[in-house]
Chain A
Amino acid sequence: MAISARCSGRPPTGPTEYVQAGVELLGQIDAEQALDEVLTFARRSLGVYRITAPGIRLGGVGLFEAILAHAEMPDVWRPRIRARFGHPAAMSRLLDRLADAHSGKPDTPADPIDRESLTEYVADRMLAAGFNPADGRHPDEVAERYHEKQALAAAHVPLSTIDLLRLYLSIEGKASTALDEIEALASVYKFDLSGPLAALRHHNATLRALVPAAAVSFDASFPRASNIIPASSSRCWPPTARCWRPAANMTACCSGWAPRCR
């Protein structure tokens, strides 16, 4: 369970620095209990600085993953789109590229070179150039990804899916309104998002109860901080969250909210 807080604004000179803090709770197995503990701690911490009406932004990586799982597209693209969640510029470039693939350019023909020959070819080039194929990327890994790339070029994501993703990622505003919008979107596309949506609504209600004066907003494209590592969602609760990769022996997860200091 983790949260972070950041004061906006930057010093007038020198490199940009932010005043920020994070809370991470490890070892609490009951996810709801963990959420309560972390939020209560965060609320008390804000109290120390006399911040009673913070702006709180909720994100929804779980919701985005649910949309990705439902949306029609070749499977090879799902993890690639997922990896760009939280990076608006990179996501937008990828979606543009996927849309461009429909603009009539012929598909790249499958490469006739088989995997083994390609691996050998890469290994030869690595050795000739003085790179140690045993350290870092292996020739086999390069060849595998090269083939995978060609499969990707041939696998188009439908334009309707690209539109849906763009529409979803643009949803932002007061949490309850934004969640209603997402529910309406889900019913149009006949996606079952009831699980992640219920979790987010619960999350929102908890926050409102704990910090009544807070302005809670939801941003479907919640940009995670660059030093936070996304983890697979299966370990995470609530599924609204930005996540840390937990160590193998820990049950750790996260919720993303960022009170802005006033």
Chain B
Amino acid sequence: MPGLTLAIPSKGRLEEEARGAFARAGLTIERAGGARSYFGSAARQPDLAVRFMPAAEIARELIRGNIDLGITGADLIEESTESSAEQVMAVKPLGFGLADVVVAVPDPWIDVTQMTDLADVAADFRSRHHRWLRVATKYLNLTRRFFSGHGMIEYRIVESTGATEAAPAAGTADLIVDITTTGSTLSANSLRVLEDGLILKSEAQLYVARKAEWTPMRRAQLEALMSIVGWVPPGITTKL
């Protein structure tokens, strides 16, 4: 592969913000076919292929090394791998897509304020209710890792890819793990974040894939690209 491949989130605020961040840094990203096209280019950078992809897919492809660099959320990277530092290099936090991944319980659970309480509740939930405590989330791996670290093992995950915060009132789950920015959606659904329930502070970042094929020429291209945007001092490729 001669040139570098850069992946940009394919829609919504993340796309606008990502293109805006590059534009402010002097690199204009074109999307020739409009929102329906998944291929783009960068002005005066013929060797840089730009691809528009869903943010979760960018995380996966970065980890596999199928793309060279991309913008995606830290939550998606951490959800997709247990050893992010070995697989991707976070180059530049971009200050948008800010979100906290948190554990939230129904506000009327006045006895549950910390993870230790939740672990206690989980431990005898099944004998009381003849079913597992259910956690709605799209962050299966982050949830498992975080709960296990708090000694919480007796629960079941209900996979939820949208409107997760409605799951407890709808009766499909007892609590949730989800992202929040201001907390207003959670409180509107009478959910409360546990005092020590912050799993991850996330934001959009530019990542470089460690597992991509870093030939001397491609390293030079990456250095050149980074010098144009000026986000990191020269020498980034020595850390790959």
Asked if A129 and B190 make an inter-chain contact with CB atoms under 8 angstroms apart, the answer reads yes
B239 CB-CB contact with A under 8 Å: no
Chain B residues near A14 (CB-CB < 8 A)? 63-64, 81
A-B contact pairs, 11 of them (CB 8 A): A13-B87, A15-B80, A87-B149, A90-B151, A90-B152, A97-B116, A129-B106, A131-B108, A137-B121, A145-B111, A227-B153
Near A by CB (< 8 A), chain B positions 41-74 give 63-65
B123 CB-CB contact with A under 8 Å: yes
Near B by CB (< 8 A), chain A positions 117-134 give 122, 125-126, 128-132
Taking residues whose C-beta sits less than 8 angstroms from the other chain, chain B's interface range is 35 or more
Q: Interface 1/0s, chain B 108-125, versus A by CB < 8 A?
A: 111100001101110101
B11 CB-CB contact with A under 8 Å: no
The complex places the Cα of A89 from the Cα of B154 at a distance, in Å, of 17
Given the interface pairs A13-B211, A89-B149, the reply to whether A130 lies near B110 with Cβ below 8 Å is: no
Given A13-B63, A226-B148, A226-B153, output 13 extra A-B contacts at Cβ < 8 Å: A14-B81, A15-B82, A84-B119, A90-B119, A97-B116, A129-B107, A129-B108, A129-B189, A131-B106, A131-B169, A146-B111, A226-B144, A229-B154
Residue of B whose beta carbon sits closest to that of A227 = B153
B216 CB-CB contact with A under 8 Å: no
* Interchain nearest-CB distance for B63 vs A (Å): 7
Asked if B169 and A129 make an inter-chain contact with CB atoms under 8 angstroms apart, the answer reads yes
Partner of B111, one of A83, A125, A142: A142
B174 CB-CB contact with A under 8 Å: yes
Chain A residues near B149 (CB-CB < 8 A)? 87, 89-90
Could you list which residues of chain B lie within 8 angstroms of chain A, going by C-beta atoms? 63-65, 80-83, 87, 106-111, 116-117, 119-121, 123, 125, 128-129, 141, 144, 148-154, 168-169, 171, 174, 189-190, 211
A169 CB-CB contact with B under 8 Å: no
Chain A residues near B123 (CB-CB < 8 A)? 83
CB-CB nearest 8 A-B residue pairs: A90-B151, A129-B190, A87-B151, A125-B108, A146-B111, A145-B111, A130-B169, A126-B108
A6 CB-CB contact with B under 8 Å: no
A141 CB-CB contact with B under 8 Å: yes
Asked if B129 and A136 make an inter-chain contact with CB atoms under 8 angstroms apart, the answer reads yes
Near B by CB (< 8 A), chain A positions 21-79 give none
Given the interface pairs A15-B141, A122-B110, the reply to whether A229 lies near B150 with Cβ below 8 Å is: no
Near B by CB (< 8 A), chain A positions 88-104 give 89-91, 93-94, 97
Asked if A142 and B141 make an inter-chain contact with CB atoms under 8 angstroms apart, the answer reads no
Near B by CB (< 8 A), chain A positions 136-186 give 136-137, 139, 141-143, 145-146, 148-149
Given the interface pairs A83-B119, A94-B116, A137-B121, the reply to whether A126 lies near B148 with Cβ below 8 Å is: no
A80 CB-CB contact with B under 8 Å: yes
Asked if B106 and A126 make an inter-chain contact with CB atoms under 8 angstroms apart, the answer reads yes
Could you list which residues of chain A lie within 8 angstroms of chain B, going by C-beta atoms? 13-16, 80, 83-84, 86-87, 89-91, 93-94, 97, 122, 125-126, 128-132, 135-137, 139, 141-143, 145-146, 148-149, 226-227, 229
Chain B residues near A148 (CB-CB < 8 A)? 111
Partner of B117, one of A129, A149, A226: A149
Partner of B151, one of A83, A130, A136, A142: A83
Asked if B108 and A229 make an inter-chain contact with CB atoms under 8 angstroms apart, the answer reads no
Residue of A whose beta carbon sits closest to that of B87 = A13
Given the interface pairs A129-B169, A132-B171, the reply to whether A142 lies near B110 with Cβ below 8 Å is: yes
Chain A residues near B63 (CB-CB < 8 A)? 13-14
Chain B residues near A89 (CB-CB < 8 A)? 149-151
